[in-house]
Amino acid sequence: MRQKNLVAAVTGGAMSAVVMGGLLAAAPQAVAAGVSCPANVYTRAFYKNTSFSGSPVKTDCDSAIDQSWSGRPLSGMPSDNFGVRWSVKRDFGSGGPFTFGVSATDGVRVYLDGVRKIDLWSGTGDSARSKSVNVTVPSGKHTLRVDSVNWSGAAKVKYSYTPRTSAQYDKTKPLAPTGVKTAYNTTARRTTVSWSANKEMDLASYSLYRRPEGSSTWTRVTTTTARSYTDPLVNPDDRTPYFYEVRAKDKAGNTSSGSTDTVVRPLPVVPSLTGTYDKATGKVTLKWPQNTEPQFDHYTVLSNDLVEGSYVWVPLGTTTRGTWTTGPVTADGEWRHYRVLVTNDGGTTTYSPKWLDASATNELWLGIPDGIAPYNAPDLTLSTCAGGIRATASDSTPAPIRDFTGFEIERREATAGTWAPVLHQGYDPRSGTATATVCDPLPADGHTYEYRARSYDAAGNYSPYSEVQAVTVPVAQRSE
């Protein structure tokens, strides 16, 4: 009799219905607007009928579906032939296997995203019956809905959805944690890492990992159920930047991938360093971006210099500005190395290894122009050659310490003021004595010519000239 009345009420009422496999499938009605429930809390609507038609008598929030009414559920509702609908939209994280379980008197239906998963739609009087099904929930946000009707007698309904946490069934990895933030305490020299709550319902724990910048090896710092941790690592002399990531583990033993790596630089750093050399003054000017961190205190400028046979970093001074000009630097064609450190108000200073680091953003390798000429003048010898004068420049400086790359020889007619080059070339590196020679063709006119020589280096610097040597070309003999 109840089923006949139900069908008559449904087909004659405002709610549309279709028959599917012998079961009545009701088109869902929207829950009344104007009620906003907290995350993962059901919105509950009470109807005076079992077709969920019209406006609900009341809409409120319900943290769990576990009710037992012996009469009317609230004022303004009938004791029999009423319906209650619960719905909630929640984020299931990575999803996975779940069990939906329900116990109820009379009619109850459970839906996932509008798809019916449990259907117990018959009168039971005051006796409840139960049913559970295993459901795979996709990742992300989904809507659960429970429709319960009471035709007569006691109204009881209880529903739950729980993840299946056995490794036999759950092969789905949790989502990687998000919202990772770091805070460095400049006084205590400690890093606190925090992160957002994972969406997984079967979460077991989080693990925090770290690795030094430049390394690919992760070290597990801690495993915790909390969502923040202060890393006790920091050694007062360890100023290495570290990367942190968080991984989630579920109750089935599945572990997520790591969160987005977050780097913690315990100190302000100089992101770039440039420099120029002024030939006129011989000074180097360094420049870098001004740090704006609230903990900033000052910069220290260092130069890598030879001290007692070893190269060490020597402080040149401190400044609060983003520029520094050195004293005069010898224009010797060598490389100069500079580094700028930052000290914060906690007294911690940028990591500064003893060695040179070509990839460090706060380090500059600056080539200084070579302004030093070869020290000694070469030797010059003159002799005759076919049709002229042979001029030879030489230097016996041992090859490892030669500061020149070639020779230049010039000639002029005696007492005439204009010198002209007759040779400009490198020397034979295989020879023990560096030598360059030229046969200078001259007319046999009896004139006197003067020669001089000098050496030069790769930067175009010239040594002093050799002593000037003169030679008179004999007049050619005429045959009678």
Whether the CB-CB separation of 459 and 438 falls below 8 Å is answered with: no
HSE-CB of 104 using CA atoms within 13 angstroms: 30
pLDDT for 22 equals: 33
Residues of the chain scoring pLDDT < 50: 1-32, 479-480
pLDDT for 338 equals: 98
Residues sharing a CB contact under 8 Å with residue 67, sequence separation 6 or more, in sequence order = 73, 84, 155, 156, 157, 158
pLDDT for 237 equals: 63
Query: Would the pTM count as exceeding 0.75?
Result: no
pLDDT for 41 equals: 97
pLDDT for 11 equals: 32
Q: H/E/C letters for each residue in the chain? A: CHHHHHHHHHHHCCCCEEEECCEEEECCCCCCCCCCCCCCCEEEEEECCCCCCCCCCEEEEECCEEEEECCCCCCCCCCCCEEEEEEEEEECCCCEEEEEEEEECCEEEEEECCEEEEEEECCCCCCCEEEEEEEEECCCEEEEEEEEEECCCCEEEEEEEEECCCCCCCCCCCCCCCCCEEEEECCCCEEEEECCCCCCCCEEEEEEEEEECCCCCCEEEEEECCCEEEECCCCCCCCCCEEEEEEEEECCCCECCCCCCEEECCCCCCCCCEEEEECCCCEEEEECCCCCCCCEEEEEEEEEEEECCEEEEEEEEEECCCEEEEEECCCECCEEEEEEEEEECCCCECCCCCCCCCCCCCEEEEECCECCCCCCCCEEEEEEECCEEEEEEEECCCHHHCCCCEEEEEEEECCCCCCEEEEEEECCCCCCCEEEEEEEECCCCCCEEEEEEEEECCCCCECCCCCCEEEECCCCCCCC
Question: Rounded to whole angstroms, how far apart are CA atoms 196 and 217?
Answer: 25
Whether the CB-CB separation of 131 and 118 falls below 8 Å is answered with: yes
| Domains annotated on the chain, with CATH | 29-81+98-161 (no CATH), 181-264 (2.60.40.10), 274-367 (2.60.40.10), 379-472 (2.60.40.10)
b/e 366-394 (16+ beta carbons within 10 angstroms → b): bebebeebbeebbebebeeeeebbebbbb
Question: Rounded to whole angstroms, how far apart are CA atoms 389 and 387?
Answer: 7
Please, what is the Cα angle at 402 between 399 and 406, to 5 degrees? 100
pLDDT for 328 equals: 95
Whether the CB-CB separation of 10 and 51 falls below 8 Å is answered with: yes
Number of neighbouring beta carbons within 10 Å of residue 142 = 15
Q: What is the pLDDT of residues 28-64, one digit of tens each?
A: 444 445 789 999 999 999 999 999 999 999 999 999 9
Q: What is the pLDDT of residues 262-306, one digit of tens each?
A: 988 777 889 999 999 998 999 999 999 999 888 899 999 999 999
pLDDT for 459 equals: 86
Residues sharing a CB contact under 8 Å with residue 275, sequence separation 6 or more, in sequence order = 284, 285, 286, 287, 338, 364, 366
